[in-house]
Structure 1
Amino acid sequence: MAVGVACGAALAALTVPAAEAGPLGEGGPHWAPKDPGTPQIRFRGLAAVDRHTAWLAGTGGTVLRTTDGGGSWRNVSPPGAGELQFRDVEAFDARRAVVLAIGEGEASRVYRTDDGGATWTESFRNTDPKAFYDCLSFFDRRHGLAMGDPVDGRFRILATSDGGRSWRVLPSAGMPPALDGEAGFAASGQCLVTSGPKDVWLATGGGAHARVLHSADRGLTWTAAGAPVPAGDPARGVFALAFRDRTHGLAVGGDYRPDKPSPQAAAVTADGGRTWTPAATPPPAYRSGAAWLPHSRTAALAVGPTGTDLTTDAGRTWRTIDSGSYDTVACTADLSCWAAGEQGRVARLER
């Protein structure tokens, strides 16, 4: 099913102190299921355009779109993509979107549509057997990047300047060396995020230390900073980032294995990612997605397989407000938020 949030009053209610706001689902704001009838699909890619329009990308080469707030969903999957795993989707409006398929070698692909998914064009197919792409993000309608795991010791970056119609591999000279075992996590489409016309951040795990890399020139040169979340294992690291502007950001993650604890599963930065501070009260378990609430300087959501958490102090403390399983979350400028995850789960926050 599909999850979405769309109500200014509901979002406002979520930002009051814990003592004044009831948990989701108890008479107040709640995740309202927007079931697309695809329980066999796991949706890790989500693009929320506004309270009416959202795109989903998931397993089995599946892409869905709604233009009526989740009341109905249209299967707009690219033909012949049934063996692909779509993990990210970026949408500019109800008609134009770009989706990323992940995997080794030619399994990593990018498709673009200009007609609401009626037709798709494959704009990139990876031919390097050592490359594996994880996430993509756009600065504007023309300029965007896709992030891949390290190739020859450095993270691989693709760039587009025509809205995803064509892509080129950027030079690696400005990328710091990767740590042993370091990689990205294609868990929510949020391991690569942008803010403004040129700033972009990518999240890592799997190495001795979790890191966040930042570029202020659309991916040409990067700097790396340690992030105080669980690391030292292929299953641990930063899984998602969210920036409300070019200086204030959140990082969430942990250990995705359900039988492993994830202490310090969130961190915060106020200097554009140069330094990260662990949350004083982090989410209680691994979280794979995060989003700032619309027009808020202090409120954000984090989601994962064991629940949804809310911060009202810009990431310093978190409290669990729902126990449902979601992998990714997104909010829009018109006071709308959506979430999606396993077993076709999709919802919107409503009152």
Structure 2
Amino acid sequence: MQNLIAILTLALLATHFTTACQTPTSTSTSRLPSWTLTPTNTTQQFRGLGPVSNDIVWVSGTKGTVLRTNDAGSTWTDVSPHFSLSENASNFEFRDIEAWSANSAVILSIGEGNLSRIYQTRDGGETWKMTFVNQEAAAFYDCMAFEKEIPSHGIARSDPVNGRFRLIETWDSGSHWSILSMNGTLPAALPGEFGFAASGTCIEAAAGRWYIATGGVDPGRIFRSTNPRLGWHLSNSSITGAAAAGVFSVRFRDAKDGIAVGGDFEKPTANKDIASWSCDGGVEWHKAVSFPGGYRSDVAWVPGRKDTAVAVGTSGSDITFDGGRNWTGFGNGTFDAVECINRGVCWASGARGRVAKLVMGDE
């Protein structure tokens, strides 16, 4: 009888695991997509990418540059903030941008001390208001994210201050920010651990949950929380970490299914242990079976195509049709950031003024 109970218990557990983490079966019959570059007429590097729709897209980058298109990339308008001569626009790198419409956006400048700043516009970039400036010498802000369910709620993260990652929070779409009190709930950073300001996706908000990706330690780690004020948990990402390596981007399509990508940006074509996936909300991360073609700084799920996601990096782009288990390369151009608007359109941005649109084929 005891043996029978044990067998039934194991069977139930196996059924539960299969149901909770069933391996997707790729049904895609579409040809691999390709990027179409748009004429930005600049050579700045755009790590910040904020598409609003097929037509409205914002990008932000080096030398204080911000561009916006309202016609799907046919033309781009320079909507950069105006800096005083003493500030010098070339000192500012806007590594992240979050946009809600053709009028409303916030941008994050990275750097030590007061170079880490956040600006907000509500008139399409005609004017920008500085809504946060870092006063902590040890802080270095890398990325920010806003909830889709509560668009006014956002969090920006800094590298560790006194051994813990620092977070600031807004509840009014970036008009005001305050340091989020951790009360010891955020696990301490390991020596040498930090975040990558590479694509604006080292923090993620999805389905009422928050995720933080790290590098500098081996393996890279991923923090997760359902309430950043109350507590965080952490997991091994299964992605190799080092001084220039770790998890660069973490993305979830729902409360369970996530993908993480990274690698070593000093070894752009090395592709061992650079991508992983989770099906339990980030509790466990599993190495991909086949990896992207090299270091990848960003990944994005394609809405409406359940198990499809696109990853980009300096050595090319890749696509998965099975939730991150296997990756196939489809382009060798350099990009830093990617975001998919709907099942048919993705956008990417990167070095030398490259901004491109990807039109997905029918399945």
TM-score w.r.t. the length of structure 1 is 0.90
Consecutive unaligned residues in structure 1, runs of 5 or more: 1-14, 24-28
Aligned to 2:37: 33
> Contact 2:34/2:330 (CA < 8 Å) preserved in 1?
no
Name the aligned partner's letter for residue 58 of structure 1.
G
2:203 is equivalent to residue 195 of structure 1: no
> Contact 1:263/1:284 (CA < 8 Å) preserved in 2?
no
Aligned residues: 327
Q: CA deviation at 1:284?
A: 2.4
Aligned to 2:189: 178
1:221 and 1:61 mapped to 2: Cα distance? Answer: 35
Which structure is richer in relative contact order (CA contacts within 8 A, separation 6 or more)?
A: 1
Name the aligned partner's letter for residue 111 of structure 1.
Y
2:66 and 2:325 mapped to 1: Cα distance? Answer: 35
Aligned to 1:65: 68
Residue in structure 2 matching 1:304, options 310, 313, 316: 313
Name the aligned partner's letter for residue 221 of structure 2.
R
Q: CA deviation at 1:219?
A: 5.0
For the aligned residue pairs, the C-alpha RMSD in angstroms reads 1.5
Consecutive unaligned residues in structure 2, runs of 5 or more: 1-25, 84-88
Residues 213/74 of structure 1: CA separation in 2 closer, same or farther (3 Å cut): same
2:176 and 2:327 mapped to 1: Cα distance? Answer: 40
Residue in structure 1 matching 2:158, options 132, 148, 151: 148
2:74 and 2:34 mapped to 1: Cα distance? Answer: 16
Higher helix share: 2
Q: For 2:352, what is the secondary structure of its paired residue? A: helix
Name the aligned partner's letter for residue 193 of structure 2.
E
Q: CA deviation at 1:260?
A: 6.8
For structure 1, which segment, 29-38 or 307-316, has the greater mean C-alpha deviation from structure 2 after superposition?
29-38
2:45 is equivalent to residue 42 of structure 1: yes
1:246 and 1:123 mapped to 2: Cα distance? Answer: 31
Aligned to 2:4: none
1:48 and 1:157 mapped to 2: Cα distance? Answer: 24
1:30 and 1:282 mapped to 2: Cα distance? Answer: 19
Q: For 2:296, what is the secondary structure of its paired residue? A: coil
1:57-93, Cα deviation, whole Å (9 max, x unpaired): 1000111101100011111111114320110000011
Residue in structure 2 matching 1:78, options 68, 77, 81: 81
Aligned to 1:9: none
> Contact 1:110/1:123 (CA < 8 Å) preserved in 2?
yes
Q: For 1:60, what is the secondary structure of its paired residue? A: helix
**Match runs of 1:195-344 below 5 Å:** 195-196=206-207, 198-218=208-228, 220-231=230-241, 233-258=242-267, 261-333=270-342, 335-344=344-353
Q: CA deviation at 1:22?
A: 3.7
Name the aligned partner's letter for residue 63 of structure 2.
G
Q: For 1:70, what is the secondary structure of its paired residue? A: coil
Residues 336/257 of structure 1: CA separation in 2 closer, same or farther (3 Å cut): same
2:67 and 2:124 mapped to 1: Cα distance? Answer: 10
Residues 76/219 of structure 1: CA separation in 2 closer, same or farther (3 Å cut): farther
Q: CA deviation at 1:349?
A: 1.1
> Contact 1:50/1:334 (CA < 8 Å) preserved in 2?
no
Aligned to 1:88: 96
Name the aligned partner's letter for residue 48 of structure 2.
G
CA radius of gyration, larger in: 2
TM-score w.r.t. the length of structure 2 is 0.87
